[in-house]
Amino acid sequence: MTNWHRPSTRDRESDVDGTSFKINRPFQPPRRLEPSCPKPSSLLKLQILLFAGLGEHVGSNSAQIDVDLPSTASDVLATLQRSFPDAAPLISFSRLAIDQEYVEMDYQLDGTESEIALIPPVSGG
C-alpha cells in the first residue's frame, strides 16, 4: 500500500500555465535551542543594624555586608556569621527584621529593603 502525501501549499509552486509542481527542499533538522546562560548575579550591599549584645560583639551598632541577588534571609545570616566569627553563636539565635517586621529564613531579598536589623534574643522582666 502506498502512502500518498498531499503537498501543502508551501511545498507547491505554480507554473505559468497553472500546473503545480513539488519543490524538493533539503531536510533541515529542527534548530537546537542553546541553553540559556545564567544571568550574572547582582551584588547587593546591605547595612545591617545590630542590637543589644550583637553590637558589643562586633564593636559597632551596624555592619555592612555584600550578598548576591537573589539571596534569602538565611544567606544574610550565614554571611554575617562568616564576617564576624566571634559573634557567630549569637547571630545563629538572632532574628532578622526587614523594614521593622520579622521575616522567615526563606524570605527573598529583592534590593528594595530600606532597613535591615538583626535582633538577638533578649530577656526582660
Q: Torsion angle of alpha carbons 80, 84, 88, 94, nearest 10°?
A: -50
Predicted confidence at residue 101, as pLDDT, reads: 95
- Phi first, then psi, for residue 81 (nearest 5°) are -65, -40
Whole-angstrom distance, CA of residue 41 vs CA of residue 38: 8
Whole-angstrom distance, CA of residue 25 vs CA of residue 28: 9
Q: What's the fold here for domain 42-119? A: Ubiquitin-like (UB roll) (3.10.20)
Note the pLDDT tens digit of each residue in 30-78. Answer: 666 555 555 556 888 999 999 988 988 888 999 999 998 889 999 999 9
